[in-house]
Amino acid sequence: MAIHLVIIDALNLIRRVHSAQPDPNDIANTITNTGRTLQRIIREAQPTHIVAVFDHLGTDRGWRAKILPEYKQGRKPMPEPLLRGLEKIQDAWWQMGIDSLLSEGDEADDLVATLAQKVASHGEKVTIISTDKGYCQLLSPTLQIRDYFQHRWLDEPFIANEFGVKPTQLADYWGLAGISSSQVPGIPGIGPKAAKEILTQFDDIEQANQSDALPAKYRKKFDLHIDQARRCKQVSALKTDIELGFNLQDLRFSTSPSSQ
């Protein structure tokens, strides 16, 4: 039987549904609306296996902050009513047949990336449901990313149009241009246009740095900030080697959780 694993970037979905509500304290409404959203996703995707991956909610910002201390520093915390209601949301999803995977020391992004790549590498179909373009560096013939809220695929043509680079160059792109929403600075003075120009000429940051053909207008910036660019690239990349501790069979989709 052909496998289709759907991975829900849980907090990405929940936050967007919750932010669209008129009353942020109405968690019952959040449960209802996320449930409806998931039902539509399931009807559209027809998964054989499904899981919702949640970020840990501790204060530890993980391994990325150890490499780049400013990473996600001062990010707006989750609204308190939503934080208190997460367990109820998880339970409601479980009743729909959707199990939850909660990250511990790692970010949910890395758990999603590890699971998605592991399954896709065996030629099985994987769909990640998220608006996060960071997942696009994982794109492959059997791995796709669906932005449910914009009703679009974050595919290779989308990346080419949005960033002007290949999916495999995205970590290098962010290493150069930075990610303002996550406090990833990149190289000062190199923005999206320059990053695109550099990565059109070179495969990656290292090739550009080592080449005499790097335009003079960028050489000094590289000389001053190459170490920072490397760290920004490292935190922008996804880990795909996390020990998961479960089998794909555990994620088989059934509308009755007791039968899983």
The CATH 3.40.50.1010 domain(s) of the chain lie at: 4-158+238-251
116 is in an annotated binding site: no
Report the alpha-carbon distance of residue 57 to residue 83 in Å, rounded. 9
Report the alpha-carbon distance of residue 53 to residue 6 in Å, rounded. 11
| Greatest Cα-to-Cα distance within the chain, rounded to the nearest angstrom | 64
The single-letter code of the amino acid at 135 is Y
Report the alpha-carbon distance of residue 105 to residue 42 in Å, rounded. 29
Per-residue pLDDT tens digits for 178-209: 999 999 999 999 999 999 999 999 999 999 99
176 is in an annotated binding site: yes
Which of these, 100, 123, 108, lies nearest to 38 by C-alpha position? 100
Q: Is 4-158+238-251 assigned to CATH 3.20.20.140? A: no
Q: Is 162-236 assigned to CATH 3.40.30.10? A: no
187 is in an annotated binding site: yes
The CATH 1.10.150.20 domain(s) of the chain lie at: 162-236
77 is in an annotated binding site: no
Report the alpha-carbon distance of residue 14 to residue 110 in Å, rounded. 19
Q: 75: which 2 tokens?
A: 């990010």
82 is in an annotated binding site: no
The single-letter code of the amino acid at 130 is S
Residues 6+ apart with CB under 8 A from 238: 109, 110, 113, 134, 135, 137, 138
Per-residue pLDDT tens digits for 11-53: 999 999 999 999 989 999 999 999 999 999 999 999 999 999 9
What is the pLDDT, as a whole number, of residue 256? 55
139 is in an annotated binding site: no
Q: How confident is the model at residue 259 (pLDDT cuts 50, 70, 90)?
A: very low
| pTM for the structure as a whole | 0.94
